[in-house]
């Protein structure tokens, strides 16, 4: 019986070895395919790496170009900003003038000389009035009030300009 047992064990071992050989061959083929796939992936990564580097270089060039162009546009943008401020000031002055005109139109009309006497004159306007008055006295003009109208108009113009 020992002999039969040894023969059965030998046959079982031979069958086990055959199956192990088949399994090892299949594992070897799988490893070879895995190695081949990894090599292909590595080649692809190397190719992509080169292309990515080229893309990054181009992106850097574009960025430098854009920065240069943006610096060139800065004076234009500043001019547009200044123009916007000027237009805002002009609009504000027009609003003030419009509201002043509307206020004057809403008030009942009074004697023009009383309106002129209420307007405070600057030193320059006072000198102008005095020089016109001196001229009018010398020429003996019939209507010396026109000088005040001119000065009031000049005063309004100066306030409008501010």
pLDDT tens by residue, the chain, 162 residues: 888 999 999 999 999 999 999 999 999 999 999 999 999 999 999 889 989 999 999 999 999 999 999 998 888 888 888 888 888 888 888 888 888 877 777 775 555 444 555 666 666 667 666 766 665 565 554 555 655 676 677 778 777 766
Does an H or E element contain 132, and which?
Answer: helix 123-139
What pLDDT, on a 0 to 100 scale, did the predictor assign at position 117? 56
Taking each helix axis from N to C end, the angle separating 2-106 and 146-161, rounded to the nearest 10 degrees, works out to 180
> Which single residue is written with the structure tokens 């809403």?
106
Taking each helix axis from N to C end, the angle separating 123-139 and 146-161, rounded to the nearest 10 degrees, works out to 160
Q: N- to C-terminal Cα distance for the chain?
A: 128
> Which single residue is written with the structure tokens 């010396």?
144
Q: How many CA atoms lie within 13 A of 152 on its CB side?
A: 13
């Amino acid at each position: 019986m020992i002999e039969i047992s040894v023969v059965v064990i030998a046959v079982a071992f031979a069958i086990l070895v055959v199956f192990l050989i088949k399994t090892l061959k299949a594992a070897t083929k799988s490893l070879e395919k895995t190695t081949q796939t990894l090599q292909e992936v590595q080649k692809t990564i190397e190719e992509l790496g080169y292309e990515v580097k080229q893309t990054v270089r181009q992106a850097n060039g574009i960025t430098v170009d854009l920065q240069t162009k943006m610096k060139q546009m800065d004076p234009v943008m500043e001019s547009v900003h200044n123009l916007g401020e000027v237009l805002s000031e002009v609009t504000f002055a027009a609003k003030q003038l419009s509201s002043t005109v509307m206020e004057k139109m809403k008030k009942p009309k009074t004697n023009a000389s009383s309106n002129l006497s209420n307007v405070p004159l600057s030193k320059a306007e006072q000198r102008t009035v005095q020089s016109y008055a001196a001229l009018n006295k010398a020429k003996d003009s019939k209507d010396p009030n026109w000088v005040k109208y001119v000065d009031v108009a000049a005063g309004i113009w100066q306030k409008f300009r501010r």
